[in-house]
A and B are shown apart, each in its own frame.
Chain A
Amino acid sequence: MGRKLLLENIEKPDIHTIDGYIKYGGYRSLDKVLKGMSPDEVTEEVKTSGLRGRGGAGFSTGLKWTFIDKSTDKPRYLLCNADESEPGTFKDRLLMEKNPHLLIEGMILSSYALGCHTAYIYIRGEYMFILRILERAIQEAYAKGFLGQNINGSGYNLDLYVHPGAGAYICGEETALIESLEGKRGNPRIKPPFPAVSGLWDCPTIVNNVESIAAVVPIIMMGGAEYAKIGIGRSTGTKLISASGNINNPGVYEIEMGVPVEEFIYSDEYCGGIKGGLDIKACVPGGSSVPILPKSLLFKESNGSPRLMTYESLSEGGFQTGSMLGSGGFIVYDEQQCIVRNTWNFARFYHHESCGQCSPCREGTGWMERVLHNIEYGHGKEEDIDLLWDIQRRIEGNTICPLGDAAAWPVAAAIRHFRHEFEYHVKYPHRVKDADHVYQPEMKYQTV
């Protein structure tokens, strides 16, 4: 059994109330930090912990904080990215739904470290029911004096608000999130300038994922050095993994970094094996954007040692034989799943979610979707496979934000590792038209 830092009390029925949260040790960090530590000392602890951004990019959270521009008189802002929209990812939702005060406590500590007096939690609009949970919790925190003026008599002030998006994957990209919070379309900005210098309303701004901010609480309580002892190498601490697909126990698991992938899939403590006793075909370990790995590459690194749930081990071998830990959106495919269909599905997703600013992404995602749709529905040609490869190659790296890459990688990996399935679709169109596809919708666009 691994150590639980974020989900330790998640099953306690009263953990969502402030009294329950305090009873289980919550908000103890406030006095420690607000009365006993300087903002830079807090940042230093987070740096020491080795915490890396849990939204998917994996950049050092503490280091990111040091980039905030302190040379200006403008107000600084902390934005919590709760836009969780990467297919396969549903971990932040559990934290906010069940244990909202952990995020609020983390927001207070992080805001203090950054010198922010106003902070926002930007939550995807579909999570409106969670927004209401957070707003209730924030009200409770104000009533206890943990938010507002002179928190706990420390002289530090912080106002915290929750703000809903309205259905746009792109707003999980930090500059699109900022645009959206300014009441605009979620079009990512060109960087530099980075938000740490010019973000919300051109003020210095830090954007952090829910899980990263929540992790600041245990880091402060146990000390950064102690936190860094958990895990392996540069993958420190615990990580929330949301497991879905054809497994016996889908759900959210907190793991100590370094659990072997094979154990994570087959242990009853986690996924509990493949549903229906089937064999595993493939896995997307870090959300839909990261390369899909076939069974043959999933459990072992290229040197034969077990592949582990860490940033380094999952990406070992680069995109030729590896993938990424990403957001921890762990999707498992059994032997009966059609990789072409899944790739088409993801391509449709990225086409739908492209903001449309950059032509390679706007045109390329739609083009890939159409070609994949043709192949999947038995109208593909052999040269389409090379065409797909060519399109994805020309999107990658040629867009303002990483959505282009995110759309290209799943297509590239599917062709790299499952080319035979694409060839099969092209060669035997009549078979794929009938077999295994119970429901054959015509290409759909949302008309509502």
Chain B
Amino acid sequence: MNIQFSQESMSEINRVIGHFPPIRKKSALLPVLHIVQKESGWLSPEVMDKVAEILEIKPIEVYEVATFYSMYHTKPVGKHVIEVCQTGPCMICGADKTIAYIETKLGIKVGETTADGLFTLKTVECLGACGYAPMFQIGEQYYENLTEEKIDDIIRQLSSNANNI
């Protein structure tokens, strides 16, 4: 399969490659994976091979990085990945209840995706929002000081946006 990234992604990729000396192209790997994951939703082997080609490195160099860092999805995920912080400071401020509430609301367990492919629920370690717990991240957005009402609103909003498309 011949993968082509969008022009927008390619110009972003070239911009971050430009942050490094020409012989250090590999240094751009982490940001490039973020860019292509944003476009493709997840990092399939084909996507990773294409990245290797662009950065002039071996595919294994991409795979070993993609599997090391927790933000990269090497399996398909839902349109919105809800990443709930479960580490200490969040836990003592109710993260467990937040996770249970979302599980019940969406009818899925941690690690699963809703049948309509809209939401994946994931637990993550400390996101640096300890003072604003409980919290989760969806895409680039932090949602903090969560309550059940807030969670309802967020999920409702993301669901209706999806229906409009």
Give Cα A242 to B73, complex, Å: 31
Specify which of A167, A169, A349 lies most central, judged by the most chain B CB atoms within 10 Å of its CB: A167
A127 to chain B: which residues have CB within 8 Å? 128
Q: Are B68 and A168 in contact (CB under 8 A)?
A: yes
Knowing A90-B128, A125-B71 are in contact, say whether A446-B31 is a contact too (CB < 8 A).
Answer: no
Residues of B within 8 A of A444 (CB): 110-111, 123
Binds A, one of B2-10, B130-138, B146-154, B155-163: B130-138
Tell me the smallest distance from the CB of B119 to a CB of chain A, in Å: 12
Interface residue A186 (Cβ < 8 Å from any Cβ of B): yes
A251 to B132, CA, bound (A): 8
Contact flags B97-132 to A (C-beta < 8 A → 1, else 0)? 101100000000011000000001011111111111
Q: Is B33 among interface residues, defined by CB-CB distance under 8 A?
A: yes
Contact with A along B35-72 (1 / 0, CB 8 A): 00000000000000000000101000100110011111
The CA-CA distance from A355 to B69 in the complex, in Å, is 10
User: In the complex, what distance in Å separates the CA atom of A164 from the CA atom of B33?
Assistant: 10
Task: Indicate if B13 sits at the interface (CB-CB under 8 A).
Answer: no
- Chain A residues with Cβ below 8 Å from B164 are none
- Nearest CB in chain B: distance from A97 CB, A: 10
> Which residues on the A side are within 8 Å of B55 (C-beta)?
183
In the complex, chain B residues whose CB is within 8 Å of the CB of A252: 131
The answer for the CA separation of A84 and B130 in the assembled complex, in Å, is 12
Interface residue from B68, B91, B99 paired with A345 (Cβ < 8 Å): B91
Give the Cβ gap from B145 to chain A, nearest Cβ, in Å: 9
Complex Cα gap A87–B90 (Å): 9
B65 touches A438 (CB 8 A): no
Q: A183-B29, A353-B125 are in contact. Are A90 and B92 (CB under 8 A)?
A: no
> Contact: B88 with A288, CB < 8 Å?
yes
CB pair A331 B89 closer than 8 Å = yes
- Whether B130 lies near A90 (C-beta < 8 A) is yes
Q: Would you call A166 and B30 a contact (CB within 8 A)? A: yes
Chain B residues closer than 8 Å to A337, beta-carbon distance:
92
In the complex, the answer to whether A448 meets B19 with C-beta atoms within 8 Å is no
Q: Write out the residue numbers on chain B whose beta carbons fall within 8 Å of the beta carbon of A186.
A: 68-69
A85 to B71, CA, bound (A): 14
With CB as the reference atom, state the residue of chain A lying closest to B145: A250
Are A439 and B65 in contact (CB-based, < 8 A)?
no
CA distance A441 to B104 in the complex (A): 13
Chain A residues positioned under 8 Å from B91 (CB to CB): 341-342, 345
A421 interface hit (Cβ, 8 Å)? no
| Bound CA span A169–B69, Å | 9
User: How far is A381 from B142 in the complex, measured between Cα atoms in Å?
Assistant: 40
Kindly provide the distance from the CB of B109 to the nearest chain A CB, expressed in whole angstroms.
9
* Other-chain residue from A87, A168, A181, A441 in contact with B88 (beta carbon distance below 8 A): A87
What A residues does B133 contact at CB under 8 A? 244, 250
Given known A245-B89, A337-B92, A439-B100, contact A166–B26 (CB-CB < 8 A): no
Taking a contact as CB atoms under 8 Å apart, the answer to whether B70 and A167 are in contact is yes
Asked if B131 contacts A250 (CB within 8 A), the reply is yes
Size range of the chain B interface in the assembly = 35 or more
Query: Are B28 and A168 neighbours in the complex by a CB distance under 8 Å?
Result: no
Does B27 touch A at the CB level, under 8 Å?
Answer: yes
CB distance from B13 to the nearest CB of A (A): 13
Chain B residues with Cβ under 8 A from A423's Cβ?
A: none
**A residues less than 8 Å from B126 (CB atoms):** 85-88, 169, 288, 349
- Complex Cα gap A65–B86 (Å): 37
CB neighbours (8 Å) of B142 from chain A are 129
- CB-defined interface of A152-169 with B at 8 Å, one 1/0 digit per residue? 000000000101111111
Check: A243 CB closer than 8 A to any chain B CB.
yes
The answer for the CA separation of A397 and B67 in the assembled complex, in Å, is 28
Residues in A whose Cβ lies below 8 Å from that of B19: 120, 161, 163
Contacting residue for B97 out of A342, A346, A355, A439, CB 8 A: A439
Residues of B within 8 A of A448 (CB): 73, 75, 77, 81, 111, 120, 122
Q: Are B34 and A185 in contact (CB under 8 A)?
A: no
Closest residue of chain A to B31 (Cβ to Cβ) is A164
On whether A87 and B89 interact (CB within 8 A), knowing A439-B99, A448-B111, the answer reads: yes
Asked whether A126 lies within 8 Å of B137 as measured between CB atoms, the reply is: yes
Tell me, rounded to whole Å, the shortest Cβ–Cβ distance linking A220 to chain B. Answer: 27
Nearest CB on A from B96, distance (A): 4
Knowing A337-B92, A349-B87, A444-B110, the reply to whether A165 touches B69 (Cβ < 8 A) is yes
User: Which residues, 243 to 267 on A, are CB-close (under 8 Å) to B?
Assistant: 243-246, 250-252
Q: B71–A166 contact, CB under 8 A?
A: yes
B162 to chain A, nearest CB (A): 19
Asked if A201 lies at the interface with its beta carbon under 8 angstroms from chain B, I say: yes
- The answer to whether A126 touches B128, judged by C-beta atoms less than 8 angstroms apart, is yes
B130 touches A244 (CB 8 A): yes
Q: List 17 A-B contacts (CB under 8 A).
A: A120-B19, A163-B31, A183-B27, A183-B55, A183-B57, A183-B61, A185-B64, A244-B89, A244-B93, A244-B133, A245-B89, A250-B130, A251-B131, A252-B131, A288-B87, A346-B88, A444-B111
- Contacts beyond the supplied A201-B24, A245-B89, A444-B110: 7 A-B pairs with Cβ under 8 Å: A126-B137, A245-B130, A346-B87, A349-B87, A355-B68, A447-B110, A448-B73
Residues of B participating in the A interface, judged by any CB pair closer than 8 Å: 19, 21, 24, 26-31, 33-34, 55, 57, 61, 64-65, 68-73, 75, 77, 81, 86-89, 91-93, 96-97, 99-100, 110-111, 120, 122-133, 137, 140-142
10 shortest interchain CB distances as A-B pairs: A166-B69, A183-B29, A447-B111, A250-B131, A244-B130, A167-B70, A167-B71, A439-B96, A183-B26, A87-B126
